[in-house]
Amino acid sequence: MMDERQGSFEDIIGTGNLGRGLMTLCAVLALAACSATDVPTDVADRGESVSVEAAFENIAAPGPIRFEKLESATWSVPLSGLLNLDHPKARAAGIEDREEDISIYTYVLTHPTEGMFLVDAGVSESFRGDENADISWLVSKVMNMDALKLKRSNREILAAHDEQAIAGVFLTHIHLDHVMGFDDLPEGTPVYLGPGDAQYAAATHAATRGTTDRLLAKVDRLQEWTFNDGKVVDVFGDGSLFAFHAPGHTAGLTVYLARTTRGAQLIMGDLTHTRWGWENGVEPGSYSVDGPRSAESLAWIKSLVDTYDPAGDLIAVHPGHQSLEGATPGR
C-alpha cells in the first residue's frame, strides 16, 4: 500500500517536472495500488438486512416515495469501457468500439418522513465553464472532460425544490462521474455507499484519487451499507427503498429499488451503463474492476426483475448512463 502522504500522481505532475513525474508514476504503478479516496469510512447509521423476497413483497403496490430522474449532464466516452465488446452477443451483433453518447443522471427521492435524498451526486455548478479546478489535467484528458456538457446542476435542482434540505446521498459507486455534485451540497451531508468501494486498491487510483478527494472535499465520512447473506438492505426500515449489493463494476456497486408514487423504480448505477447492455444482458467493459463478477451481478439482478416482473410492467429500469424507452428523464 502506498503511503498516502506521498500523494497521488496528480500531485506528482503538479510539481512542474513532467519527465520526472512520469518516471515516478511508472514506479508507483508498478509497485503499489491505492484506495479510491482518503475520505474515512464508517458503518451506515441506517438500514437493516432483509431477504430478497422481502424487497419484492409489495412490488405491485405504489410506495410513499416521490421520484424524479434528472439529466445532470451529457457526455461522450468510448463504448469499449461501457460494454464488453468481446461478449458473444456483442460480437454477433457486430458492435465495434466508438464514441458513445451518454448522460449523467441524478435521482431525487423524497420520503414523506425521512426527507429528500439524491441517488448519485449529480453535477455541480462549477462544471458550467470550460474547466473545473477539481479535475486534474491528466484526468480531464483521459476522461474526455471537454465533451461533458452540464444540463442541470445541483444548485438548480435545490432551487427547484425551494432549497429543501438534502437529507443524504445514496451513491451507487464512487467513480468520478457519480460524485461530481457535492460542491453544490451542504458540507457534511450524509453519504452512503457499498462496502469496500472507497478502500478498493487499484493502480489507476494513483491517477484519480486526488481528483476524487477534491470532489469529496465537503464529505467528512462515507457510510457503508452492511450486507448479509441476502445482499439486500431495507434503507428506511419501512419497505420503501432497498439497496442491493451487486459488485463487479466496482467492489461496492449498489443497486437501489424504490417503491414510489409512480411505481417501482430500479436504479442500477453502472451495473449496466447502456440500454443495449441491459436488454441483452451484457456487462460493462474495461471500466469495471472485475468483469466476470460484473456479469454475475448483472445476471442476478436481471433474473430478479424477470422473476418478480415477468410481464415487464411493474418495475421501471434505469441503466447507469442511458434511458430505456418510456423511462426518460423528467419530473
DSSP 139: H
Looking at residue 114, its pLDDT comes to 98
What digits encode the pLDDT tens for the residues 242-274? 999 999 999 999 999 999 999 999 999 999 999
Distance CA 133, CA 126 (A): 9
Question: Are the C-beta atoms of 123 and 180 separated by less than 8 Å?
Answer: yes
Q: Hey, what's the cell of 74?
A: 451529457
Q: Is residue 158 helix, strand or coil?
A: helix
Looking at residue 19, its pLDDT comes to 43
Lowest mean pLDDT among 18-22, 115-119, 169-173: 18-22
pLDDT band, residue 66 (cuts 50/70/90): very high
Phi, psi of 277 (to 5 degrees): -60, -40
pLDDT band, residue 163 (cuts 50/70/90): confident
Looking at residue 326, its pLDDT comes to 54
The Cα-based distances of 161 to 64, 108, 155, 248, 260 in angstroms read 18, 10, 10, 35, 18
Among the listed residues 89, 266, 296, 270, the one whose alpha carbon sits nearest the alpha carbon of residue 179: 270
pLDDT band, residue 3 (cuts 50/70/90): very low
pLDDT band, residue 325 (cuts 50/70/90): confident
Distance CA 131, CA 118 (A): 25
Looking at residue 32, its pLDDT comes to 61
Distance CA 200, CA 41 (A): 12
Looking at residue 179, its pLDDT comes to 98
Q: Hey, what's the cell of 238?
A: 419501512
Q: Which amino acid type is present at position 324?
A: L
- Give the mean pLDDT of 22-33: 50
- Give the mean pLDDT of 280-304: 98
Question: Are the C-beta atoms of 63 and 258 separated by less than 8 Å?
Answer: yes
Looking at residue 229, its pLDDT comes to 82
Distance CA 286, CA 18 (A): 27
Average pLDDT, the chain: 90
Lowest mean pLDDT among 7-16, 151-160, 186-195, 300-309: 7-16
Looking at residue 327, its pLDDT comes to 52
CATH code for the domain defined by 38-200+218-318: 3.60.15.10
Domain boundaries, the chain: 38-200+218-318
Residue 31 has pLDDT above 70, yes or no: no
Question: Are the C-beta atoms of 312 and 327 separated by less than 8 Å?
Answer: no
Q: Is residue 166 helix, strand or coil?
A: strand
Q: Is residue 298 helix, strand or coil?
A: helix
What digits encode the pLDDT tens for the residues 114-129? 999 999 999 999 999 8
Looking at residue 131, its pLDDT comes to 77
pLDDT band, residue 132 (cuts 50/70/90): confident
- Give the mean pLDDT of 29-50: 87
Q: What residues does 76 pair with on adjacent strands?
A: 101
| pTM of the entire predicted model | 0.90
Residue 215 has pLDDT above 80, yes or no: yes
Residue 18 has pLDDT above 50, yes or no: no
Residue 30 has pLDDT above 90, yes or no: no
Burial of residue 329 (number of CB atoms within 10 Å: 0-12, 13-18, 19+): middle
pLDDT band, residue 230 (cuts 50/70/90): confident
Question: Are the C-beta atoms of 208 and 36 separated by less than 8 Å?
Answer: yes
Residue 139 has pLDDT above 70, yes or no: yes
- Give the mean pLDDT of 84-111: 98
